[in-house]
Amino acid sequence: MPSSRDTPIQVADLSFDYVGRTVLNDIRLSVGAGKIVGLLGPNGSGKSTLLKIIAGTLPGYRGSVQVAGVEVRSFARGKLARLVAMVQQEPEFSFNYSVLEIVLMGRHPHLAGLAFESAADVEIAHAALDRCGILALGQRPIHELSSGERQRVVFARALAQEPMILLLDEPASFLDIRHQVEIFDIVRELAEVQGCAVLTAVHDLNLAAEYFDQVYLLSDRTIAACGSSGTVLNYANLTRVFETELYVDTNALTGKLLIVPLSGRSRRLLAETRAPRRNGGHQDS
């Protein structure tokens, strides 16, 4: 077993039932310090559930889920929140706080009792806003922002939490391509410079190929494949897990995988030409 210092997230034999239905079964996963690990899989394959279990919001699991060497369900809430930050897929804002106030809430686990945020806390929040390119939005009410802007606010809040472990559930689903890249560049910097362990669910396979060190493919409630993104992300695995035809090729610039979805019309075209060799040559890898 690797040490908890090098491997902040260690999951073994994890199963989880939700109202009598098995959502996750026999999951084994680990995320090393300084690594970006991707969770990929079709809708309903249990990615979000797995992230929530590691974040400690679903304590009724079976098996072992260790964060920094301690079983998640035996953590005190406040202590866990100083180690782990999570960007939720569907954040809620029931009252109209300003953007800065929302990001300052990331300091909540670091404050004691009735304390007010110190100048240092505000500094941290401003730095997080600046890093996400939304410093100018600081005084805007959260209800006035677009979905993409809100998503960056939530990400900035997670940064302000200064976590050792960062869990991301579709953090870029509302972002345009430039902001997707900006967010994942920040994620990479967090991992490489600060040694943050990052586990992130995404649907964008090209982002996964470009950024992730390792990938877990979830399918049918369990792990269908795992390993370095270069080996796991291939034509056979992807078409099997996602149950759709894809065009898979190599990115000539980076040598990484290039994945393009095929419409029904394109799939018919493919069947008519019966030229599987044109499909990037990845069928057998």
Partner 1 sequence: MVHRTERLTGRRVLIVTLLLAALLALCIGGGIAFGAGTVNFSSLLPGGSLTEVEHAILLQVRLPRVLAAGLLGGALAVAGVVFQALLRNPLADPYVLGVAGGASIGGVVALLLGLGSVGVMGGAAVPAFAFAGALAALLLIESIATVGGQLTVYSILLTGAIFNSFAAALIYFIQSVASLQQLHEIVFYLMGRVPALGYQELAVLALAIVIVDLAVYTMCRDYNALSLGEEGAMLLGVDVGRTKRFTFVLGSLLTGLCVAVAGLIGFVGLVVPHMLRLVIGPDHRLLLPAAFLGGASFLVLADLAARLLLVPNELPVGVVTALIGGPFFLYLLRTRGRNYAF
Q: Residue 11 CB, nearest distance to partner 1 (Å)?
A: 18
Closest separation in Å from C-beta 55 to partner 1:
6
Length of the chain: 285
62 or 79: CB nearest partner 1: 79
Pick the closer one to partner 1 by CB: 8 or 109: 109
For tokens 């009724």, what's the residue? Answer: 60
Beta strands in the chain (DSSP E): 9-18, 21-31, 36-40, 62-67, 70-71, 84-87, 165-169, 197-201, 214-219, 222-228, 246-250, 257-261
Whole-number Å distance between alpha carbons of 224 and 217? 5
**Nearest approach, Cβ of residue 69 and partner 1 (Å):** 19
How far apart (Å, rounded) are the C-alpha atoms in residues 113 and 135?
A: 28
Q: Which two tokens stand for residue 27?
A: 């999951």
Distance between CA atoms of 210 and 191, rounded to whole angstroms?
15
Cα torsion at 164, 166, 167, 172 (round to 10°)? 180
Backbone angles phi, psi at 165, to 5 degrees: -130, 130
**DSSP line for 39-85:** EE-STTSSHHHHHHHHHTS----EEEEEETTEEGGGS-HHHHHHHEE
105 vs 224, beta carbon nearer partner 1: 105
Q: Which is nearer to partner 1, 110 or 282 (CB)?
A: 110
**∠ CA(281), CA(283), CA(285), 5° rounding?**
90
Interacting residues toward partner 1 by CB under 8 A: 52, 55-57, 77-82, 84-86, 88, 91-98, 100-102, 104-106, 108-109, 111, 113-114, 116-117, 122, 138-139, 141, 143, 161
Smallest gap from Cβ 21 to partner 1, in A, equals 16
Dist. CA 88–CA 170, nearest whole Å: 8
As measured in angstroms, the least distance from the Cβ of 80 to partner 1 is 7
Our CB check for partner 1 shows the closer of 101 and 210 to be: 101
Least distance between partner 1 and beta carbon 216 (Å): 22
Asked whether 183 and 190 are in contact (CB, 8 A), the reply is no
Least distance to partner 1 from the beta carbon of 18, Å?
A: 13
Closer residue to partner 1 in complex, CB, 129/209: 129
Residue whose CB is less far from partner 1, 68 or 223:
68
> Residue 14 CB, nearest distance to partner 1 (Å)?
19
Residue with the two structure tokens 């079964």: 25
Q: Based on CB atoms, which residue is closest to partner 1, 9 or 80?
A: 80
